[in-house]
Structure 1
């Protein structure tokens, strides 16, 4: 009994010390959660993923009512060097980059520099003759279409292949501007605004941010999002002075593998900024940094007295925006629509605990986040594995079971 009583203050002290100055924290009981139930996350992640040799390393962050109540790190970021997964370990976020780019675009919408329902040829005049297959499209795609993945675009691999077949430079050798201005060479899968298909559209969206702001996407993000939110370890590459904190990526046998270049194909080291700054998947970050970003979202546009978006804008971004013809999205689990940058829970399903209005997305090397406005929950799970494992799905029911009010 004595040891159990000592554990809860120790948990609070460790969490507060580790995140002091970077993340707001609280004891679980202060925000209606059970510390004992949250400890189950540590037990399950350690047993199933680390001891079970499914993952080399992982992190799990849980916040409620704007306060972090759990920050667990497990296993190794580099097995050969015996380097543990730590709170400031840098990981490849891949498609969790999309949420950041979506916020950037909506900041410019608020400022009147971009319009949600204007055709993108208003900003990129060369994109004015797209086809659905071989037939001219009946209407142009809009910023809203790109944000909710109803633009009709194919995926990155298809775009890269089609550019090469047309004798054009591959994505890896292109800037966002060059890539976007060549879009007339890419046949659409469907009429804009009619079907949902997860595509490379956020890469084009990143260039629209460049057009609207007059700055390259890396500069805009640094000045307008990363610096204001205190996201000190988030960028399109991992600089040399932070390299020892950068996690390796592992395969199913826990052998290190070379990670693919974001937004395109081929290996990529992340040692220097790429020419192709992928808005769809190019960022590296830490659990601390990305939680600061997520707490801004859960705070309806504000974190730590810094406001990036209006409350009404975040509410608009995180409601289902799909027409009936595009709902639900084709990716499991079911019952989800899509907002302006996020999958949104519209219907409850039996296969997993969830809350209506919950919004989320993930990254292909094992990163996930979800935010439940109704339950005031914000959760991030991080690993570096190809293919990704079911870390997020395993943790989710444990988080919901930890709610006490």
Structure 2
């Protein structure tokens, strides 16, 4: 439905490529868990054991007397990275002064910085919260991606290709687009770019009717594989490629005779890892009622509280430009919604989910 390029009248089709933003996160976490299965780390390990620069982190605390730095009450663990309980944040979030420091640093949106360099710059900035005290959406999975690089001694793109994309036949998924395929990349529309604007700025623009074509090449380029790779965003993919990834998760870590993870590992990833005190998690003040969080994906705990049809144990995630997927093991179902509309206030993905379940009558 709709257009790949509205101005040129190019229709959207099944071969189009999308910037999937945070739907990169489940992919990266899955790749990291292949290393967990190899005994390369434990979820409870301190991140600084593998990335020593993160040993010196402190927390920036805002008080009536001014901002001050506090020592960590405990180290960040690998599990914290994947569950967003590390104390890290995002530049677009303004509920801590650390968000502004992220925006000023440009460590994440500078496509000329490698992931290694970006994470070194991140390690120079303070945490927004003490590890384990809050669920807070963050660049933690970018750190997890750099952990993959450190454990495999490979660039992230190469590690993902070797461990996921090649075995699953995801031939058009990666951190860049082949020159001959760039004409199939869907144009971006919507509110100001989430990589450079704060969430309040984005919401004000959206409420004011701001909706125009966006050029996001500067921080999400099609042609910079030598430097541009991230863990929390950055992948390009097609509906068919991402469907194969989701189908593998639905099938307990295997697809078409190729096993990526053991069934028990996929189950571990998609159990709730958040204590009750940290639920419901929220992003930008918007709570996700009924959901817990696993290793890189939300997990449905209470169908009624979510306000949507579904099943306990359903899991998935979304991206800033209206990409969304979910896996429902009870119904043997994968849902996949792809658009390129930056942080819209409308929720077509929820309508799509309701329409999907109303069709299940047998």
Same fold flag (TM > 0.5):
yes
Q: Deviations over 1:291-331 (max 9, x none)?
A: 00000000010011110001000000001001233222124
1:258 is the counterpart of 2:215: yes
CA distance in 2, matches of 1:398, 1:112: 42
Figure out how many residues of one structure are paired with residues of the other and give that number. 327
Aligned to 1:328: 280
User: Which position in structure 2 is the counterpart of 1:243?
Assistant: 182
Aligned to 2:76: 141
Q: Contact 1:130 / 1:183 at 8 angstroms: preserved in 2?
A: no
- TM-aligned CA deviation for residue 271 of structure 1: 3.2
Match among 271, 293, 296 for residue 341 of structure 1: 296
Q: 1:78 aligned to 2:33?
A: no
Residue 195 of structure 1 and its aligned partner are, at CA, apart by 1.1
Is it true that 1:185 corresponds to 2:124 in the alignment?
yes
Partner of 1:89: 16
Output the CA distance in 1 between the equivalents of 2:113 and 2:176.
17
CA distance in 2 between partners of 1:180 and 1:289 (Å): 28
**Where in structure 2 are the equivalents of 1:25-36 lying within 5 Å?**
none
- Could you tell me which runs of 5 or more consecutive residues in structure 2 were left unpaired when the two chains were aligned: 61-68, 191-208
Structure 1 residues 322 and 234, CA gap change in structure 2 (3 angstroms): same
Give the C-alpha shift of residue 156 in structure 1: 3.9
Is 2:176–2:223's contact at 8 Å kept on the other side of the alignment?
yes
* 2:341 alignment partner in structure 1: 385
User: Does structure 1 residue 100 correspond to structure 2 residue 23?
Assistant: no
Q: Distance in 2 between matches of 1:279 and 1:142?
A: 17
Per-residue CA distance 1:113-158 (angstroms, 9 max, x = gap): 2221110111011211211221000111111010111001011457
Distance 1:168 1:225 in 2: 27
1:373 matched to which residue of 2? 329
Secondary structure of the corresponding residue to residue 380 of structure 1: strand
CA–CA distance in 2 between the matches of 1:253 and 1:187? 33
2:141 paired residue among 194, 197, 202? 202
The alpha carbon displacement at 1:224 in A equals 1.3
Counterpart CA distance in 1 for 2:109 and 2:4 is 32
2:85–2:133 contact (8 Å) kept in structure 1: yes
Q: Distance in 2 between matches of 1:108 and 1:338?
A: 21
TM-score, length of structure 2 as denominator length: 0.84
User: Which deviates more from structure 2 when the two are superposed, residues 334-343 or residues 160-169?
Assistant: 160-169
Q: Deviations along 1:3-54, whole A, 9 cap, x unmatched? A: xxxxxxxxxxxxxxxxxxxxxxxxxxxxxxxxxxxxxxxxxxxxxxxxxxxx
Q: Which residue of 1 aligns with 2:224?
A: 272
Greater alpha carbon shift after TM alignment, 282-291 vs 166-175: 166-175
1:153 aligns with 2:88: yes
Query: 1:180 and 1:132 mapped to 2: Cα distance?
Result: 17
Say if 1:135 and 1:311 are closer, same or farther in 2 by CA, change over 3 A: same
Q: Is the 8 A contact 1:93 1:285 kept in 2?
A: yes
What residue in structure 2 maps to residue 363 of structure 1?
A: 319
Q: Tell me how far 1:253 sits from its aligned partner.
A: 7.1
Do residues 318 (structure 1) and 270 (structure 2) align? yes
Which secondary structure does the structure 1 equivalent of 2:33 belong to? helix
Match of 1:5 in 2: none
Cα deviation 1:165-206 (Å, max 9, x = unaligned): 579897544222222234442222222122100101111110
* Separation in 1, partners of 2:253, 2:270: 12
Mark the runs of 5 or more structure 1 residues left unpaired by the alignment.
1-73
In the alignment, does 2:23 pair up with 1:121? no
Cα 1:203–1:156 shift into 2, 3 Å: farther
1:220 and 2:159 correspond:
yes
